[in-house]
Structure 1
Amino acid sequence: MNSISVQDFALQMNNPDVVILDTRDHGAFEENHLPQAVSMPATSLPNRLSELDKDKTYFILSHSGRRSEILANFLTDNGFNAVHVIGGMRAYRHVAATVA
């Protein structure tokens, strides 16, 4: 599993070669999410592996980064190219607010 800082994530998140998986629950996703993110809550992700493409790179995003690290490891162990976004949406929102 690879990791990426939120600063580097912000620079790469619009790359068409990556998919952002937002692993927060549906309520948190609906409240605030990145427009290009795909909602795949942590509780459903293990049952939805067939929806993912092993040829793509996935940036895994959670609220604080703890769950995304676990899920990125899980995906990597299952043959996917998964990148853990350190600090999650909380850190991303902080970084986005400082550059806005």
Structure 2
Amino acid sequence: MKSITAQDFQMLLANQPVTILDIRDKGAFAERHFPDAISMPTTSLPNRLNELDKDTTYFVVSHSGRRSDIIAQFLNNHGYKALHVIGGMKALKKDAA
């Protein structure tokens, strides 16, 4: 399983553009999220795969990182490039607005 620590993700985010796939529900996303993050709640993701590009690397975030691990694995199994951000938004508190 491909994953990245919250600390390494924050360093990467500070140095280059990344594509963040936020799989939390719409309410949590509206409350706090990274600028330009793609909101795709877990329940809708299987029906929205056609919106994703297989050439893009997605950094998948959830609240605590549990669901993002599962979803990143699901995406990788379907030919997408995805890394799960360990610890999710709980570990990434300072960068999201």
Global fold match (TM > 0.5): yes
Name the CA distance, whole Å, in 2 between partners of 1:69 and 1:9: 15
Structure 1 runs not aligned, ≥5 long: none
- The 5 Å alignment of 1:1-100 reads 1-13=1-13, 15-16=16-17, 18-93=18-93, 96=94
Amino acid of the structure 2 residue aligned with 1:86? I
Name the CA distance, whole Å, in 2 between partners of 1:12 and 1:46: 28
- Secondary structure (helix, strand or coil) at the match of 2:20 reads strand
Name the CA distance, whole Å, in 1 between partners of 2:49 and 2:11: 27
Q: Where has structure 1 moved over 3 Å in runs of 4 or more? A: none
Report if aligned partners of 1:58, 1:82 keep a CA contact under 8 Å in 2. Answer: yes
- TM-score when scaled to structure 2? 0.91
- TM-score when scaled to structure 1? 0.88
Structure 2 runs not aligned, ≥5 long: none
Instruction: Report the identity percentage.
Output: 62
Name the CA distance, whole Å, in 2 between partners of 1:59 and 1:13: 10
Q: CA deviation at 1:13?
A: 2.5
Which whole-Å deviations, capped at 9, do the CAs of 1:4-49 have from their partners, x for residues lacking one? 0000111122533x31000000000000111121111011111111
Q: CA deviation at 1:73?
A: 0.3
Report if aligned partners of 1:13, 1:20 keep a CA contact under 8 Å in 2. Answer: no
Name the CA distance, whole Å, in 1 between partners of 2:39 and 2:7: 21
Aligned residues: 94
